[in-house]
Structure 1
Amino acid sequence: MRKIIRHDGIKISNSALPIVSVSDHDRLLAAIPGHFFWMQAREMDVGPVESIRDRANYSAITPMGSDGTRWTIGASANGKPAIVCPDGVNVVSYTTDLQIRPDAFTVAQVFRLTPNYLNSINELVSSTSKANVNGGLAARININVAPRFRLLGEDVSPAYERVGTSILPNVDTLGIITFSTALGCSVRINGHTVAQNVADKRPLTDRTIRFGSQSTIVNSNASFHGQRMRTHMFNLDLSAPEYAGYLATLERELMSFYGIGS
């Protein structure tokens, strides 16, 4: 997480300079340890190239479909900005390959599926190379046609579910995947643990992940159908007892911000 030093009382005459506004909501989320990726759909980030900022590092995320189609900005159920993923178009971000911690991580996402989710496996986070080619184990999170929100293993082919749960389409949802070699895998939906696999404690061997789809094929069945409001990634297992307060803060703030009930 990039830090900003605040100096109160300083006056700058150049009114054209950009202004950084930080709310209590932002400060609470920024204080959670291990925070290494923060995607938040905001109108202010949509410029000539329709890029979105990774707020943890302030690097640009440039979403681009392989046919030239970009994501657009829409709204969540309570009117907050959301990335709208066009149905039938595979949109992948080429500029956000990230290194996730292999032995402990948390990925929190706010999203909504559209009715056309049945046509896709709806990739949310993917590995950048097929891990089963080299026998590796990668982090891959998607929603299948059931629909099930799940963490996949790709050390063998076909990919399989390490942990997952059924969810509802057409509803704004907070889904959190946690993993560590101490506690295994778990899924939390809207503030509740709904699935666990405490026996699967194998660390990742392929650490590189991507926000969005792995595929670069037009109309790939990896396309996400719906809206994406937030993605937060942490290099910690926030389900561990010592991080219970941070997990509670994360869920409370995101659910309150987007009007999601428990």
Structure 2
Amino acid sequence: MKTVKKVVFCRSFDSIAHSQKKSFKKGFSLIELVLAIVVVAITLAALPNIVAQTQKSNELAIKQELTYSAKTLMGRIISMPWDSTALKAMCENDRGVTSCSNSDIKSYLRANRNIRIPIYNSNGLGNRPGSLIADNHGYVNQNRISEADRTRTYTPGNNSYGFNDDKNDIDDFRGTLRTRNEEASNEDFISDMLFVTEVDYVSGTTTGGTTLEFSPSGTGNSIDGGTPTNIKRVKVTVEDTDGNPGTGEYRSTMYFYAPNIGMNKPMVMDYKGM
């Protein structure tokens, strides 16, 4: 028969005082505290960089939105005719009357479909070099342009004539436009935006009959009552605000100089029901 002996090991803390066991607990808690302090210190040290990076990302996104919005509006403006007053001048000359109402102008354009518009001189008598009615009499007759247009005294203005007369030329876009982010139709925007569009005349000189020179830093003449020239300066400013101009934190400004080189033929089309 085999004999199995059971050996029991006993661990006793009888020789350790109560005060010593208590000090062990304090030492373990102190290590946790030190680690916590280190972690918090590292977090606080990195937090300003995280906030700064987030702010830079938001700033870039806002600036991009303002720039794209300004570019979109500018593209819409410069696609419009230089000045629809040319339609009024052509109607009056061709009909031999002193004044054409907008209703008369629409009737005239419907009767003379796809007629080419003369390039009137905005700051003097006669016509601009290279215009459709400058020299060639045959071309004038072929395109149904009146001989009276050759010596027309033309003054562009801020009124609109022809079809879609609410906004049918460059200066019709002057003024302010607001988009508010809380509106359901504007939810794609990051922030509120204020659009301010200015249009004025800029003086220029023609050299050699082909080159038009002007100074971009020159002071413009007001569209309302100012001296007309053959150059319009368009300025579009977009800010991230729905308040007054100048109250936004960021802004984007674009300029475009539109010379008086004529306008497209007004297209007239009748729509008939089935």
Q: TM-score, normalised by structure 1?
A: 0.23
Larger Rg: 2
Structure number having the greater strand percentage: 1
Structure number having the greater helix percentage: 2
